[in-house]
Amino acid sequence: MALDDVYTEVLGEHSRNPDHKHKLSCATCQMKGKNPSCGDEITIELQVEGGIVKDAAFTGIGCAISQASTDIMAELIRGKSVEDARRLANKFISMIKGELVDEDELEELDEALALKNVAHMPARVKCAVLAWHTLDDALKDQK
Amino acid sequence: MADAQEFLKDFPLLNHKINGRKVAYLDNGATTQKPEQMIQAICGYYGGCNANPHRGAYALSIKATDIYEGARKRTAEFIKAKRPQEIIFTKNATEALNLVAYSYGLHNVHAGDEIVISISEHHSNCVPWQMVAKAKGATLKYIYLEKDGNLSAEDIETKITERTKIVAVTQVSNVLGLKNDVKAIVKKAHSVGAICVVDGSQSVAHMAVDVSDLDCDFFAFSGHKMLSPMGIGVLYGKYALLDAMEPFLRGGDMIEYVEEQDSTWAEVPAKFEAGTQNVGGAAGLVAAIDYLEKIGFDRIEAIEADLLNYALPKLRELPFIELYGCDSTQDNKTGIIAFNVKDVHPHDVASILDNDGVAVRAGHHCAQPLHRYLGQNATCRASFYLYNTREDIDRWIESLKKVRGVLGYGA
């Protein structure tokens, strides 16, 4: 597999200049996620009102794959219902694990599709899925 | 200069092509590759000599016992221990250090005492001492670093005091690659009545070690970082200390008499080797020692120094590379280089190098306190061994030049 199949322009753009890497003053919940073996540590902040994720942001440190994945996720889930956000998280995780490959099924992941080749890089899978697992944890108790 | 090609042919894995090319293996600090001679020794043991040692009265068991006890003698000679009984076989250095923490530390450290370690320790020479300090109400103190990464001479002088019971230091830092003057630290520890535990994981495969000259009380290392299989490690301990210590693990082969409620222990070293041991691993360790001694540590040090002196100026030419522990004011740098590429996380660097068949480590290298102290979340690490060549270094440097571009940064 070629390197630029993973380190795509989309990934580079989101890791160098993330739109959603900041504190969220109106956050209603936050959740920390980490990969101790890598040193990736992120905090996801969400503003959830009436069952809708109104806003999402993150802070923390990590590799380009984990940072880009987190930024793309924040963009994707803004305005989505809690239920939809969790469904997308699980869909993304299935894609990275290589369990879900149907392009029609994956289409709604939008920019996050740019990370799909991480599925072929076993050492980096956990970098890509960190944010999405953290999101799922954060939304478990949200209605 | 010493030509490592001569040794390269002995290492089957390094001659395999992975994705169409041979690997430039620069992660020797994590584990070394294995020479054919060592692999054959393990095959020879399991193919011709395998039985449970110390138990049977039949010829095979006696042969296995001879191999196992012969390995103990050979290992004692290798690190210049005074007697074979001072060699305890373990699973690895981590288990060896835990043995000291549990069997010596918990019985000899008391409330108000102090344990002194360095901030550059691998977790295996840090976390067990945290356990002892917490269990006994003792204090764990740290020797911090000079600007050049060497242990602070002032801290060694002032933190090892009459209250210190144990000093535990590594002979070579697994991140900064700097060799510590452990002989002087042992002397300081003894001057206040403390014992000194030395982690030899990053030294014993790279330089001649003489535990009698160092006068250390314990010395731990892993076989797999010195050409041997995974699963065999060594704890050297002074006989009088070992003799006075409680066992670590309990069970078969480490006892004298077992009554319903009580037991008595076998002599050292059997007291510390409960259950069936890794005899095949010990046979492999002997073959590795033979291999290393045939080459000689003068030659091994010369090869690693050549690679280091070849690599450092090339790295310094790259403005986007940050180096750690490469400006020692002492002549004590070994073939371990920790580095970062500006703006790029070490894991991305390692993945990009991997794509060019260059294997380096990325992360905290089991040294989180050191990384926190250096203000780095993580680093990359290249570490050399006797089979590495200048070509490996060239491939590493050429691949490094691509890294920032792959992530969309300018040079």
Full DSSP string of chain A:
--GGGTS-HHHHHHHHS-SSBS--TT-SEEEEEEETTTTEEEEEEEEEETTEEEEEEEEEE--HHHHHHHHHHHHHHTT-BHHHHHHHHHHHHHHHTTS---HHHHGGGGGGGGGGGGGG-GGGHHHHHHHHHHHHHHHTT--
pLDDT in tens, B165-209: 999 999 999 999 999 999 999 999 999 999 999 999 999 999 999
Q: Give the percent of chain A with pLDDT over 90.
A: 88
Q: Give the percent of chain B with pLDDT over 70.
A: 99
* pTM (global) more than 0.90: yes
Q: Lowest-pLDDT range, A94-108, B152-166, B216-230?
A: A94-108
Sort out which chain A residues have CB atoms less than 8 A from B351's CB and list them: 3, 6, 121, 123-124
Predicted pLDDT at A22: 97
Sort out which chain B residues have CB atoms less than 8 A from A127's CB and list them: 347
Task: Report yes or no: A125 at the B interface, CB cutoff 8 Å.
Answer: no
Task: Report yes or no: B15 at the A interface, CB cutoff 8 Å.
Answer: no
Sort out which chain B residues have CB atoms less than 8 A from A17's CB and list them: none
Predicted pLDDT at B268: 97
CA A70 to chain centre: 4
Per-chain mean pLDDT for chain B: 96
- Average confidence (pLDDT) over B316-321: 98
Task: Give catalytic residues of B, as residue numbers.
Answer: 366
- Average confidence (pLDDT) over B218-230: 98
CB contact under 8 A, B351 and A62: no
What's the pLDDT band for B57 if we cut at 50, 70, 90? confident
Q: Is the pLDDT of residue B56 over 80?
A: no
Predicted pLDDT at B351: 94
Task: Report yes or no: A141 at the B interface, CB cutoff 8 Å.
Answer: no
Residue of chain A whose alpha carbon sits nearest to that of B371: A39
Q: Which residues pair with B362 in a beta bridge?
A: B380
- Average confidence (pLDDT) over B220-247: 98
Under 8 Å CB pairs connecting chains A and B tally to 49
**Nearest CB to B348; choose among A9, A13, A63:** A63
**Nearest CB to A3; choose among B343, B352, B362:** B352
Please give the radius of gyration of chain B, using alpha carbons only, rounded to the nearest integer. 22
Q: Is the pLDDT of residue B4 over 70?
A: no
Which of B309, B350, B253 has its CA nearest to residue B24?
B350
- Average confidence (pLDDT) over A34-48: 90
Predicted pLDDT at B18: 80
pLDDT in tens, B71-120: 999 999 999 999 999 999 999 999 999 999 999 999 999 999 999 999 99
Residue B346, preceding bond cis, omega within 30 degrees?
A: no
Sort out which chain B residues have CB atoms less than 8 A from A37's CB and list them: 363
Q: Is the pLDDT of residue B411 over 80?
A: no
Task: Report yes or no: A12 at the B interface, CB cutoff 8 Å.
Answer: yes
Tell which B residues from 337 to 356 touch A, by Cβ distance under 8 Å.
343-348, 351-352, 354-355
